[in-house]
Amino acid sequence: MKSRFSPVALFLVAVMMSGCSGLPEPVVTTPHTTDAMAFTAAEQTYRNYIDALNHVDLNDPSTFEAVYSWTTGDVETATRESMTQMQSLGWVVSGDATILLVVPHSMGGRDPVTADLAVCVDVGAVSLVDASGASVVAPSRTDVQSTLATLEANAESPTGWLLAEVVGRIGEPTCPSSL
């Protein structure tokens, strides 16, 4: 089966970890929610996901659970595999990923309903090193990652959405330069 994740998207999972900040209050969507309200809740879900990644301590697998709680399907599977592998290899992550831009892209009427967000994330301050202290960050990595995040409606999520797919994106909106 072909992966729906670009190398950039999988790398984002690996490099967007560490840091601290509180989680915001949940925003729950309903079947009668307007698109604007649904996009706001989907954006909050993505922000909660990044915040959860920024709380991960690769030496403490219990910190992975918050990340998993904002994901579903292939993203959840890939994230579980990636975090478990990095933890078993003794990798260490430091620095914070920062969301620079989130723009509603499209709302899908599929079942489940989906919301696509154009996202720009600054990962320039995030480093990932192996057990010997050598960087495992690709030298070609750009500081600002441009992605399309697809979220699926999910009644069990505090926001009503879960992250289902992340792929590299080109085109509008263009990402601002790093902070």
Length of the chain: 179
27 or 2, higher pLDDT:
27
Q: Which residues are 163's β-sheet partners? A: 71, 151
CA-nearest of 106, 97, 96, 103 to 119 is: 103
CATH number of 7-168: 3.10.450
- 101 contacts 173 by C-beta, under 8 angstroms: yes
Count of helices and strands (H, E) across the chain: 4, 6
Q: Is residue 32 exposed (0-12), middle (13-18) or buried (19+ Cβ within 10 Å)?
A: exposed
pLDDT tens for each residue of 9-61: 444 544 443 333 344 444 444 443 678 888 999 999 999 999 999 999 999 99
What percent of the chain shows pLDDT beyond 90? Answer: 69
Q: Is the pLDDT of residue 4 over 80?
A: no
Q: Which segment of 60-64, 104-108, 131-135, 138-142 scores lowest on mean pLDDT?
A: 104-108
The reported pLDDT for the residue numbered 47 is: 97
Question: 127 falls in which pLDDT band (50, 70, 90)?
Answer: very high
- Look up residue 155 and give its two tokens: 């009644």
Average pLDDT, the chain: 83
Report the C-alpha gap between 141 and 178 in whole angstroms.
13
The reported pLDDT for the residue numbered 18 is: 31
pLDDT tens for each residue of 58-96: 999 999 999 999 999 999 999 999 999 999 999 999 999
